[in-house]
Amino acid sequence: MERTALVTGASGGLGAEFARIFAREGYSLLLVARSERLLRERSSELSRTYGIEARWIALDLAEQGAPQRLLESVRQERVEVEALVNNAGFGDVSPLAHADAEKISRMVELNVGCLTELCRGIVPDMLERGSGAVLNVASVAAFMPGPYMASYFATKAYVLSFSEALSAELSGTGVTCTALCPGPTRTGFWKAAGDEGSPLLSALPCKTPAQVAEEGYRGLVLGKAIVVPGWTNRIAAFGTRLLPRAAVRGLAARAIRP
């Protein structure tokens, strides 16, 4: 039976690396992102290199109704999604009082709403088949509050909590859910967030998208509930549970804005 991996945010960064890994492992692909040109180029390249079928849908998943349109396309084309990678998302560096209201709304819709809708729409079919895997991209930000990035950190806390709960619900069904929680990664995230000079980029070692995606894929294959790539990131993530919350807030604030 043909295995299909649906990867959102697949035009670059982590999403592009996930697409490459699943193609390498023999999956057919359904790639989703905003850029039609980049999706076409990536799909053609992966098809030639790995001999797999790669389809794409150019769609802005932050738009109202976009997740439903994607799910409808999946149903109409009778795509059996064996692996769902919810990678699409973005952040914003700004005190909430000065943040762009529309950008915040789109961020919450993409990082939280879209991810939830796609899981709700695709997991039932996985359960019916008795096999499948979901990988939701969270962040080490999920483990702490983030002054000056309050909304972004909160969305990733949701992703982690949601994914852990879903992992428990799926236990013993043949379907798994993994939350991938990377630290700083060499992608275009900080440029898109509006702050390429954040101290976080030097406070923690930066991994490449390929390194993070490989660790995420291994965690997905093993059915892990949480994957935090890199020992320094694991210390940063789980160490926050040992510190007073006031100290965590202060450290996070200084890491984002000195």
Structure tokens at 4: 């299909």
152 is an active site residue: yes
3-class secondary-structure state, position 140: helix
Q: Which of 27, 152, 158, 217 is catalytic?
A: 152
What is the DSSP secondary structure assignment for residue 230, as one 8-state letter? S
Looking at this protein, which amino acid is placed at residue 101?
A
Structure tokens at 198: 């954040």
- Neighbouring CB atoms inside 10 A of 26's CB total 11
Provide DSSP, 69-82.
HHHHHHHHTT--EE
Which residues does residue 84 pair with via DSSP β-bridges, in sequence order?
6, 134
Which alpha helices (DSSP H) does the chain contain, by range? 13-24, 36-50, 66-76, 101-108, 115-129, 150-169, 189-193, 200-203, 209-222, 231-239, 245-256
d(Cα 37, Cα 58) in Å, to the nearest integer?
9
What DSSP element (H or E) covers 132?
A: strand 132-137
Q: Residue 234's closest CA among 207, 214, 254? A: 207
Active site residues: 152
